[in-house]
Every structure is written in structure tokens, then in C-alpha cells.
Structure 1
Amino acid sequence: MKNQYTADALRVSPGKSIFLFLCWWILSTVLASVIIGYIGTTTIGRMRWATLVQDIFMFIMPVVLTMLIVARQPMAFTGLGNRVTSRQVLWVILISILAIPAMNCLVAWNENIHFPQSMAGLESVLRGSEERARGFVDMLMGGDSVTDLLLGILIMGVLTGFAEELFFRGGLQPLLCKFMHDNHHAAIWATAVIFSAVHLQFFGFFPRVLMGAFFGYLFCWSGSLRLSVFAHALNNSLVVINFWLMNKGIAGGDINTLGSQGSTVHIILAVASAVATGAALYYFATKISQTSCGGK
């Protein structure tokens, strides 16, 4: 079966394909901005509709329009046509759970970065942007009913997970890989950096880069976008569920504090989490994966 690694996967050059992809993205983003401006974000309901428009126009539409033109087999090139195994899914769940304390530690470190006094103004602007983004997400996940939970999982978990993975791993990553002469690792990390930068949240930048790289390697190792979509949706859904449980007063504590408190116990937990996650990733790459990312 042809996939993104075949030599004749594109009808036009990688450079022209990326340029077309960028043009479609700019056009779709403008259209999304107009529609979202009309809908507004003053209520939770309107924010949910705005998120739906954003995911469809900014992330799904550019990939569909580009691949229909440049890819000989769009489903294969994006990895959507390739299946995953139940074993792969179970290992992704395990890795995601194992990584929680280590990722929390990295998140806490990134959030506590402080700029030199000469750059205090820039830090203030970036932290203000961070707070606005967090406020948007918190409002979107507001509510403590079962309907709120299900809508949160559907919109922020499933839809956003699918849309962002289709755009970054299904569209951008394979195009960059072909542009970089099949240097898979460079394409994965370049896409991860862009993925994090697009979120415009510096104080969450480094954890999001690692998360993006994880999704990218899952795509590369499995040959299927479905696995990275599942991993992304799982990660987002866990955030939604944790937030909902705290809203309900059911959760005794925030799972995001595991490994991030700075005490000896939390440090040991974070280190153990990092080691276990690394071992699980190595096992997945060498024993579970269906494809190889190549020597480059």
C-alpha cells in the first residue's frame, strides 16, 4: 500500500505542495475568523460553535483541499487509510498514563520561566496572552452536567484531536518530510515546534513540543494517522474529564499536580515517570511499531 514515504506520492514538487498548503490555510483562517466574528464567543454555546468552525476551517479544510490536488492517493498520504491494532492502542494508553507526572513537572518548569528584567514587558504580554487562552479553555470546559462532559469530550477531545492531527501530522509532517528528502526525524520535530508555536502559549511551549513529537513518532512508527489522532484525543479528553470532576467536587485533587510540587516524593515520581515512559516508547518503537522512520 502506498503511503507518505513512497517516491511518487506527490503529483507536484514538495515545495509547491507546501506553498499551496500554506495558501489554503491562510484563506481558510480568514474565512474562519469572519464566521467566528459573526458567531461570537460570549457564551459557552457560542464558544463551542466557534471551536467547531475553527477546527473545520483552519485545520481540516486546508488538508483536504491540498491533498486532493497534490497527492496521488490522499487517504494513504495522510495516513488516514491505514489501520491500527488493538495492541498499539493499549500501549498508547499506557504511555499516556505513565507520562503524566513527568509532563506535569515539565509544565510547571515551563510556567515558572522568568525573563530578564530588560524583557519584563515581553513577559507581561506573553503571560497575559497565556491567561486569556487559559480563560477561554476554562470557560469552554465550564459546567458540571453530564451533557457538558460529553460535549467537552466530543469537541475538545475528539474533534480537536482529529482536526489538529490531520493538519499537523497528516498534512504538514509528510509534506515537510518529502521536502527534507525523507528526513523523518527533522520533519517530526519541525512539525512539533510549529504545532506548539501555533498555540501562541510560550509558557506551555516546551511540553507541547514534546507532545507534538510524540504524536509525530506515533504516526511514523504505525504508518497510520488514526493512532496519533487517538493519542491526541485521549490527552485532551483526560484534561476535560479531570476539569469536570473538579467542577463536580468529585476529584480530591488535581491530577496535574502529580510530579510538579517540587518535594522529594514528587521529584522521584517525575523521574520514575520519565524513565518508565522512555522505556515504553523504546519498546513500542522496536517491538510494536509497524513501520520504520528510516535512518535519517
Structure 2
Amino acid sequence: MIANDGKVNLRGNAGLRLMVLFGAFSVCFLVLGGILLGLSAACGGDQNHTYMMLTSALQCLIVFCLPAWLCARYSSDSPGGWLGLSTSPSLKGIIGVILLFVLALPALNQVIYWNENIHFPEWASGIEKSFRDMEDQAATMTKVALDYQGIWGMLATVGVVGVLTGFSEEMFFRGALQGIMSRSRIGNTASIWIGAVVFTTMHFQFFGFVPRLLMGAMFGYLFNWSRTLWLPIFAHALNNSVVVVSNHFIGGADSDGVNGLGIVENGEIPWAALASLMATAIFLYRFRKYFFIKTKSAIDS
């Protein structure tokens, strides 16, 4: 980008912004690794709820929030505005997210079931086993994260797994990563889907790849439509919190962490999922402008 005085504006260069974002991410990831070595010894090992919550909180703050903020600070004199944090969500937007979540849930559960039950051909059985082993590790971590006691334990877990995780991941993947690409020549639509692909890939769970891809894209569209990061943050936190709360009251949270309500019982597509898909499509087609779309951008360039 060229500044008014004719000089090249390095702060507006998408490539340099990406280097700052992922360079800071790599450094912060290594720093977190060193911190966790000492934390594991202090907590008596890494297979307990306290350690898992502290790990998750530190990961959110150090690995996701800090690089996103550094990238925003490098890119603009108003980091909050650049990330989309300076504009509050509307009440209509929040209500719209809740309606969208309720309408889409049965269809999303069907996609989850389908993705979890993908089987590779015989020649790729070794790859499938590796992916299944990674899934088992994720299931173990999820079980430990949800191994809390009482209502206060549930609320604390919602605070970390739901609210803090939703905030930090949206700050990184939508506010920073999607924000960089949408300000480049790539354009909004490509930025949303590239951000969603990076989002689901960095979770390293193939058997939850597709539903997380779709949710990442939905968060991206919410950000693009509303021009405030708080709306996808709310949607992300709502989704994660429902997992924790439903596990507390009815059980069934899965390793993918996408949801655990167990609506799909077999391989057949239930009428509820088809109706959910149709209702979601109609809702977005007819009402997205009313609930979500902000005509004038409030995000700095």
C-alpha cells in the first residue's frame, strides 16, 4: 500500500502482517511450552482438571490473544478498532445468533456424525489409525477438562472453555487472520473460508474437520456482516458453553468439542436434520440482513 506522501506503507502490507501474526504465534507457543513444564510439576501431573484449565487459559492468552494484539498494534494505532472490538454487538444480532444456533444444531449434529464415521480405504489404514489416535488423545483431554465438581466447577469451566476460548480464538482467527486477508486483494469470501480452513486445521482433529470448518465459516460471515468481532465471539462462546452445560446436566460431550447433545443415533439422515438445514438456509436468506448486516464498516483499515 502507498501512503499519501508516496512512500510504501509497510504496516499495510498483508504479507508482513501475516509474518508478524504467525511469527508471534510461534514464539508464544514455545514460551507456553516452557511454562507448562513447570506448571505440570506444580499441579502434580498433566492429567487433572486444574492443570487442564490453567493450560487452556494460558494458551488462550499467550498463544492466541497476544499474537493477535501484537499484529493489530503493528497494523494500526487503534488495535481494538482494527480487530473489530471497538463496536458493540446489537441486541438483534445476539438474538439472531441464538436463533441460528437453535435452527442449525440438528443439521450440525448430522454433519458431526458423518465426519466421525468416515473410514479410509485399506491402503490408507495407517493414516486413519494415526488420526484416530489423535482423536483418542483429544477425547482424553476433553474428559479431563470436564472432570469438575459441582455447579461452581461447571461455571469455572464455562468461563475458560466457553468464554475465554471463544474470545481468544475469534480474536486470532477472525479478528487478526481474516482481518488481514479481507483487507488484501483476496476479498471477503475467500478470506472467510481460508480463515475457516486454518481454524479447523490447527485443531488437528480430522474427524471433526468438516463441522468445525462450517462453524468457522459461519463465525467469519457473522464478523463480515456485523463488522464487530463481539458477535462471532458470542456465537463461539455459546457453542462451547452449551457443550459444558449439556455435559453437566445430561452427559455426552464428545472429543471433538463441537457439541455433545447426541441428536443423531444412526447413519440415516433424520427428518430433524433435513428440516434444520432448510430452516437455517431460509433464516439466513430472509433474515440475515435484519439481524446481522451492518452496512457501514466500523473496522479500521
**Are residues 255 and 138 of structure 1, via their aligned partners in 2, closer, same or farther at CA, if it must alter by over 3 Å?**
closer
- Any unmatched runs of 5+ in structure 1? 1-7, 249-253
Aligned pairs for 1:1-296 (under 5 A) are 11-40=11-40, 41-179=46-184, 181=185, 183-246=187-250, 256-263=261-268, 267-291=270-294
Task: Quote the RMSD (CA, aligned, Å).
Answer: 2.2
CA distance in 2, matches of 1:229, 1:255: 20
CA distance in 1, matches of 2:81, 2:206: 34
CA distance in 2, matches of 1:120, 1:219: 39
Equivalent residue letter for 1:73: S
CA distance in 1, matches of 2:59, 2:287: 33
CA distance in 2, matches of 1:138, 1:226: 29
CA distance in 2, matches of 1:9, 1:100: 44
User: Aligned pairs, how many?
Assistant: 279
TM-score, reference length from structure 1: 0.89
- How far the C-alpha of 1:260 sits from its partner, in A, is 4.8
- How far the C-alpha of 1:43 sits from its partner, in A, is 1.5
- Any unmatched runs of 5+ in structure 2? 1-7, 41-45, 253-258
CA distance in 2, matches of 1:23, 1:242: 37
Q: Among the aligned pairs, what percent are the same residue?
A: 34
**Are residues 267 and 273 of structure 1, via their aligned partners in 2, closer, same or farther at CA, if it must alter by over 3 Å?**
same
- Structure 1, residues 137-172: CA drift from partner, whole Å, max 9, x if none? 121011340111101110000000000000001110
Contact 1:221 1:290 survives alignment (8 Å): yes
- How far the C-alpha of 1:288 sits from its partner, in A, is 2.4
> 2:43 aligns to what?
none
CA distance in 2, matches of 1:247, 1:183: 42
Contact 1:17 1:66 survives alignment (8 Å): yes
Secondary structure class of the residue paired with 1:99:
helix
**Are residues 260 and 171 of structure 1, via their aligned partners in 2, closer, same or farther at CA, if it must alter by over 3 Å?**
farther
Contact 1:52 1:155 survives alignment (8 Å): yes
CA distance in 2, matches of 1:282, 1:134: 36
- How far the C-alpha of 1:128 sits from its partner, in A, is 0.6
